[in-house]
Amino acid sequence: ASLSTGVQTTAEMIQQLAQDSQKINSVVGVIHSIAEQTNLLALNAAIEAARAGEMGRGFAVVADEVRHLAKRVQTSTDEITAMVSALQAGTRDAVDFMQESSFKADDCVQQAQEAGAALAEITRAVAQMRESNTQIAVAAEQQSQVAEEMNRAVVSIRDVTENTVQQTVDSATTSNQLATLAGELNRAIGQLKL
């Protein structure tokens, strides 16, 4: 009975690991979605920079860097998703195997001993799953760092945009002043002709 209970407890632990990995999948999905949106924003920013011509050159460089960061995030999230899927498949197999072992443990002592050997293998599998979770945690931390880099790049884009807008305003002011001077010059020339 104690062996069966142990198997059941371990199965519940593995099921909890599967649920936790599903939560990781949800977070990775959000990160992937943000990366896709950022990639689109960077693409739009590059288009606007191209329209701005020479004044948008610095803006285009920053937009291109943001697009590369977004692609890195998408690649990393795809890798994490694959790792989590493999982890979930392993947990399903382990739970199925443990339930079968639990039934055998109730039948006879010999089968209980076999279940004990299976538990040792399952314990090793759980250790591997924990290691996989650790790798996922490291990957998530890397995602966080990439997200920070993206944030800094977006701030740079904002700064470049503000500078571009200011330069545009300054150019418009200068154009108005030149138009005024040209008008005055034309009037002066007109008076000279008289």
Question: Looking at residue 193, what is its pLDDT?
Answer: 67
Within 10 angstroms of residue 12's Cβ, the number of other Cβ atoms is 12
Q: CA angle, corner 162, sides to 160 and 165, nearest 5? A: 110
Query: Which pLDDT tens digit goes with each residue over 107-147?
Result: 665 666 777 888 888 888 788 888 888 888 888 888 888 77
What was the pLDDT predicted at 105? 61
Domains and CATH numbers, the chain: 2-160 (1.10.287.950)
What are the φ/ψ torsions at residue 108 (nearest 5 degrees)? Answer: -160, 165
Instruction: Quote the percentage of the chain above a pLDDT of 70.
Output: 91
Q: How confident is the model at residue 127, as a pLDDT?
A: 84
From residue 17, alpha-carbon distances to 14, 77, 84, 100 in Å are: 5, 19, 10, 19
Least confident of 28-37, 66-75, 156-165: 156-165
